[in-house]
Protein backbone atom coordinates (compact mmCIF):
# COMPACT_ATOMS: atom_id res chain seq x y z
CA UNK A 1 0.00 0.00 0.00
CA UNK A 2 1.09 3.54 -0.62
CA UNK A 3 1.01 6.35 1.92
CA UNK A 4 -1.93 7.93 0.07
CA UNK A 5 -3.86 4.65 0.28
CA UNK A 6 -3.26 4.54 4.04
CA UNK A 7 -4.66 8.09 4.22
CA UNK A 8 -7.74 6.92 2.31
CA UNK A 9 -8.28 4.17 4.89
CA UNK A 10 -7.79 6.70 7.69
CA UNK A 11 -10.36 9.03 6.13
CA UNK A 12 -12.95 6.25 6.31
CA UNK A 13 -11.99 5.40 9.89
CA UNK A 14 -12.16 9.03 11.06
CA UNK A 15 -15.69 9.46 9.69
CA UNK A 16 -16.85 6.10 11.03
CA UNK A 17 -15.14 6.42 14.42
CA UNK A 18 -14.84 10.04 15.64
CA UNK A 19 -12.52 8.88 18.44
CA UNK A 20 -9.99 7.54 15.89
CA UNK A 21 -7.04 9.94 15.99
CA UNK A 22 -4.67 10.54 13.09
CA UNK A 23 -1.14 11.90 13.27
CA UNK A 24 1.75 11.97 10.84
CA UNK A 25 3.57 9.45 13.00
CA UNK A 26 0.56 7.11 12.98
CA UNK A 27 0.34 7.32 9.18
CA UNK A 28 4.06 6.46 8.96
CA UNK A 29 3.73 3.45 11.26
CA UNK A 30 0.61 2.09 9.56
CA UNK A 31 2.18 2.65 6.13
CA UNK A 32 5.28 0.70 7.19
CA UNK A 33 3.19 -2.19 8.53
CA UNK A 34 0.71 -2.23 5.63
CA UNK A 35 3.24 -1.67 2.83
CA UNK A 36 3.10 -5.28 1.62
CA UNK A 37 -0.69 -5.58 1.85
CA UNK A 38 -3.11 -5.20 -1.03
CA UNK A 39 -5.10 -1.95 -0.93
CA UNK A 40 -8.18 -3.82 -2.17
CA UNK A 41 -7.98 -6.33 0.71
CA UNK A 42 -7.44 -3.64 3.34
CA UNK A 43 -10.24 -1.47 1.92
CA UNK A 44 -12.68 -4.40 1.83
CA UNK A 45 -11.76 -5.36 5.40
CA UNK A 46 -12.12 -1.73 6.53
CA UNK A 47 -15.62 -1.49 5.09
CA UNK A 48 -16.60 -4.85 6.59
CA UNK A 49 -15.21 -3.85 10.00
CA UNK A 50 -17.02 -0.49 9.99
CA UNK A 51 -20.32 -2.22 9.24
CA UNK A 52 -19.89 -4.84 11.97
CA UNK A 53 -17.90 -3.35 14.85
CA UNK A 54 -18.54 -0.33 17.09
CA UNK A 55 -14.81 0.23 17.72
CA UNK A 56 -11.85 1.09 15.44
CA UNK A 57 -9.89 -1.80 13.91
CA UNK A 58 -6.35 -2.88 14.60
CA UNK A 59 -3.85 -3.35 11.79
CA UNK A 60 -4.33 -7.10 12.12
CA UNK A 61 -8.09 -6.71 11.59
CA UNK A 62 -7.46 -4.98 8.27
CA UNK A 63 -4.87 -7.46 6.99
CA UNK A 64 -6.99 -10.58 7.39
CA UNK A 65 -7.94 -12.31 4.22
CA UNK A 66 -11.13 -14.33 4.01
CA UNK A 67 -10.06 -17.78 5.18
CA UNK A 68 -13.38 -19.46 4.49
CA UNK A 69 -15.76 -19.16 1.59
CA UNK A 70 -18.71 -16.81 2.28
CA UNK A 71 -21.19 -19.71 2.28
CA UNK A 72 -19.27 -21.56 5.02
CA UNK A 73 -21.32 -20.15 7.91
CA UNK A 74 -24.57 -21.22 6.24
CA UNK A 75 -23.77 -24.86 6.92
CA UNK A 76 -23.63 -26.44 10.35
CA UNK A 77 -20.86 -28.95 10.83
CA UNK A 78 -22.24 -32.09 12.39
CA UNK A 79 -19.77 -34.99 12.52
CA UNK A 80 -22.63 -37.43 13.14
CA UNK A 81 -24.84 -36.28 10.29
CA UNK A 82 -25.99 -39.14 8.11
CA UNK A 83 -24.98 -41.83 10.57
CA UNK A 84 -27.54 -43.93 12.36
CA UNK A 85 -25.94 -46.15 14.97
CA UNK A 86 -29.19 -47.41 16.46
Q: How far apart are CA 86 and CA 82, in angstroms?
A: 12
Backbone φ and ψ of 67, nearest 5°? -90, -20
Residue 72 pLDDT: 64
Q: How far apart are CA 34 and CA 62, in angstroms?
A: 9
Domain 3-73 has CATH 3.30.1460.30: no
pLDDT > 80? residue 24: yes
- Model pTM above 0.75: no
Longest CA pairwise span in the chain (Å): 67
Question: What are the pLDDT digits (tens) for 49-85?
Answer: 999 999 999 999 999 776 666 666 666 666 666 666 6
Cα 49 to chain centroid, rounded: 6
Domain ranges of the chain: 3-73
Amino acid sequence: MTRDEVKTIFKILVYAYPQFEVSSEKVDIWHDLLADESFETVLANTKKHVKQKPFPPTIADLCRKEERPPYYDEYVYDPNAGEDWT
